[in-house]
Structure 1
Amino acid sequence: MLNIALYQPDIPQNTAAIIRTCACLGLKLEIIKPAGFVLNEKKLDRIYMDYLKDCEIFYHESFDTFVKSKKQKRVILFTTKTKNNYTKFTFEKNDTLLFGSESKGVSEEVHETIKNKLNIPIKNNTRSLNLATSVAIASSEALRQFG
């Protein structure tokens, strides 16, 4: 099963939208702490509505515990700091797609640790896509490849 991992997310509405996406597509969600908010805040209810019960969520206390849990599995980092186009990559069913926080991305340690790095190409005069949009695009491509 495809996993989505969020590295220290800091915008609750994006995380709620990703919970909903994961529930609808049958993806597992992993959250690497610390997050910049409390996940069960009332304001999230409208976004993930009743989808929280349909989303399998795992929490990792740190990036180290996340990496240890992935011993024999591939982790693919989505980042603006590579030219490797996500549509040219062959995904596998047990991959974990890792996304950085909205405000900071991922640490240098994460960049150094993760071998596979992919980019979703955007226009040169723009900075980045919304996190929830990036998760939807990347997971849709991986699921498309699985048939």
Structure 2
Amino acid sequence: ATQAQIVRHPDWSGFEQSAAEQHSRIVLFTSAGSQPLPDARFLPGDILLFGSESAGVPAAVHDRADYQVRIPMRPGFRSLNVAVSAGIALAEALRQTGQFPSEIDQ
């Protein structure tokens, strides 16, 4: 089975260059996202990006993202833990791109 590939970049410009070389969209998950998750459309090769729980991402990173997605929440809730957000986002992106593991894959 394919495992996740982890790549460490020395800085933001290195990350941006890598994304450009891979022709990947940078999909930022942010509470300020214009696209609610149920309406978001993912593509194979998308890079899912999450900021810190407290501060999010710098404005320049937000502006650079190709797509900004938010996970809708009930009124009165402020935010989700970044690990929970990543799990929700990854499951939906994998489902839409036909990469969600199935019973057959096990």
* Class of the TM-score when normalised by the shorter of the 2 chains: 0.7 to 0.9
The residue correspondences of 1:20-99 to structure 2 (distance < 5 A) are 28=4, 56-71=5-20, 72-99=23-50
2:85 aligned counterpart, secondary structure:
helix
Percent of paired sites with the same residue: 39
Normalising by structure 2, what TM-score?
Answer: 0.82
Q: How far is 1:123 from its partner?
A: 1.6
Structure 2 residue corresponding to 1:116, chosen from 51, 67, 85: 67
Q: Structure 1 segments of 4 or more deviating over 3 A? A: 25-28
Structure 1 unaligned spans of 5+ = 1-24, 29-55
Normalising by structure 1, what TM-score?
Answer: 0.60
- In 2, Cα distance between the equivalents of 1:126 and 1:87? 18
CA RMSD of aligned residues (A): 1.7
Paired residue total: 96
- In 1, Cα distance between the equivalents of 2:43 and 2:18? 17
1:57 aligned counterpart, secondary structure:
coil
Deviation per residue, 1:80-101 (Å, 9 max, x gap)? 0124111212211110000001
Residues 1:101 and 2:52 aligned together: yes
Q: How far is 1:146 from its partner?
A: 2.2
Q: Which residue of 2 aligns with 1:127?
A: 78
- In 2, Cα distance between the equivalents of 1:27 and 1:107? 30
